[in-house]
Structure 1
Amino acid sequence: MKRTERLHAISEMLRRQGSRGCTAERMAAEFDVSVRTIKRDLASLERGGAPLWSRPGPGGGYGLTEMASLRPVSLSPAQAVALLAAVSAAPDAPYSDLASAGMQKILDVLDPDARDRARRLADRVWVDAPPAPRRAVRSALEQAMTEQRVVRIRYTSADGTSTSRDVEPVVFASTGGQWHLIGWCRMRDAMRWFTVARIEQARVTAIACTGHTVDEIGVPPASARPVHGRDD
């Protein structure tokens, strides 16, 4: 996960914890970094104006003294549960961590009655979700796509062959129940599909992508579409 994204995620985690706060050890485990890194992140948040508090000793930890909030959201309990179900059913989807944080924000600013009804309805919706790829791999792919930079991956093909490749990310695509990274493979000098679950390692490089476009992938199936909202 990119540091700026981790700082935002830490703020959201502390905001959700409220007056209970959270230990540095728990945050370190959540974001797969060291306690020392978490404490540096907390110091950066405090320098940036975040109203942090800390309590030493057993039962101590870190928290926010003030809660930033969104404007009131007009959302029915059924709409809220529909969004929760979509996010929960796709933990392997790109940007799913950010989607979960966004959903929590929405739930937090619903009026109390609507929030309670949404939670009761959510108890009646069960999800047997697929396992998510390793956070480090997923975060690197998301960062490379967002910033349009080359990502260096270690990839194992269906026949068990493992290779290291530099890829210019172009599209995330879900098909056949699996997520794929489609990008320009610099080793093959061609567009290639990489199943995200088979990417063992991923590291964002400082190399900018050269401008390959979605049109180079070809015509998508009739059932495929971008994840836009309602068409104009």
Structure 2
Amino acid sequence: MNRTARLYALVEELRAAAPRPLTVAALAARFEVGTRTVQRDLQALMAAGVPVRTTPGRGGGWSIDPAMTLPPIRFTADEASALAAALAAADASVPYAGAARTAAQKIAASLTGPASAAARELAARIVALPSRTDSAVRDAVEQALTDDMVLRLSYVDAAGRESDRVVEPAGLLTADGRWYLIAWCRTRRAGRGFRLDRIATAVPTGERAHPHDLAELLLGSAGAGAAHPAALGPLAPVRSL
């Protein structure tokens, strides 16, 4: 069994035993490898974001939170290729790129057979230019959307003019390969779109933002016809933009 297959099998072994912990010795015997190998594998899973944890002392060992993981998913070769292409687009310029990277690692660890070969072959044929979006800006926007927090922005418009804005984030719009933060701008007292690669700085204020309807903020703008991407249909609430 190669390491990728073993990592996947380790997760399933821990899931099957959950919430009961398994010792490194028991896992090593199960996969017929040394305890150091198992320890390295478990540390690699933890570093990749898999919710495994260790409990020291008598009766302890390694376990996994089944509520934080998905059951096994069998991808076809076409589905695996589609995922590889979609994840390639999630470079450092897009929101939640860090989470996309760890998701890609988990998917890669779970793929086997033709699906794995198809995804890896396509991945070898995709390249991307470096991003111009500041990672600190992206992280601040992600956190503000997750926690509904007000942001203070330093923004450079298309003419190169810089201005300071205090905004209440409502959502994200993607168009023509660009990402925009859609927010209520307190400075302009209106809904505005801020292109992520034109945000020079983004600082959380710690203040809770008022709720704003994304569709209402887009009314009268170039983004008024925006709709939820089809791929997100099963995740999005039953309402239309």
Q: TM-score range by the shorter chain?
A: 0.5 to 0.7
CA distance in 1, matches of 2:81, 2:114: 14
Equivalence for 1:187? 187
Equivalence for 1:97? 98
SS for the counterpart of 2:228 is coil
**Counterpart pick for 1:50 among 50, 53, 62:** 53
1:181–1:194: 8 Å Cα contact kept in structure 2?
Answer: yes
Equivalence for 1:9? none
Q: Give the 3 Å change call, closer, same or farther, for CA 67–79 of structure 1 in structure 2.
A: farther
CA distance in 1, matches of 2:100, 2:63: 20
Equivalence for 2:227? 225
Spell out, residue by residue over 1:144-164, the C-alpha distance to the aligned partner (whole angstroms, 9 max, x if none).
011111011111122222222
Give the 5 Å matches for 1:28-177.
50-51=53-54, 70-91=70-91, 92-111=93-112, 114-123=115-124, 125-129=125-129, 131-177=131-177
SS for the counterpart of 1:50 is strand
Report the AA paired with residue 111 of structure 1.
Answer: T
1:70–1:105: 8 Å Cα contact kept in structure 2?
Answer: no
Greater Cα radius of gyration, structure 1 or 2: 2
**CA-CA distance at 1:127 after TM superposition:** 3.3
**CA-CA distance at 1:99 after TM superposition:** 1.9
1:169–1:183: 8 Å Cα contact kept in structure 2?
Answer: yes
SS for the counterpart of 2:53 is coil
Mark the runs of 5 or more structure 2 residues left unpaired by the alignment: 1-39, 56-60
CA distance in 1, matches of 2:41, 2:129: 31
Report the AA paired with residue 184 of structure 1.
Answer: W
**CA-CA distance at 1:141 after TM superposition:** 0.2
% same residue: 33
2:154–2:202: 8 Å Cα contact kept in structure 1?
Answer: yes
Mark the runs of 5 or more structure 1 residues left unpaired by the alignment: 1-17, 28-44, 53-64
The RMSD of aligned alpha carbons is 3.4
**CA-CA distance at 1:21 after TM superposition:** 6.8
**CA-CA distance at 1:78 after TM superposition:** 2.3
Spell out, residue by residue over 1:5-50, the C-alpha distance to the aligned partner (whole angstroms, 9 max, x if none).
xxxxxxxxxxxxx55978xxxx9xxxxxxxxxxxxxxxxx9xx983
Q: How many residues align?
A: 180
Spell out, residue by residue over 1:92-148, the C-alpha distance to the aligned partner (whole angstroms, 9 max, x if none).
22212212211221221223564244313432x323346151211101001101111
SS for the counterpart of 1:174 is strand
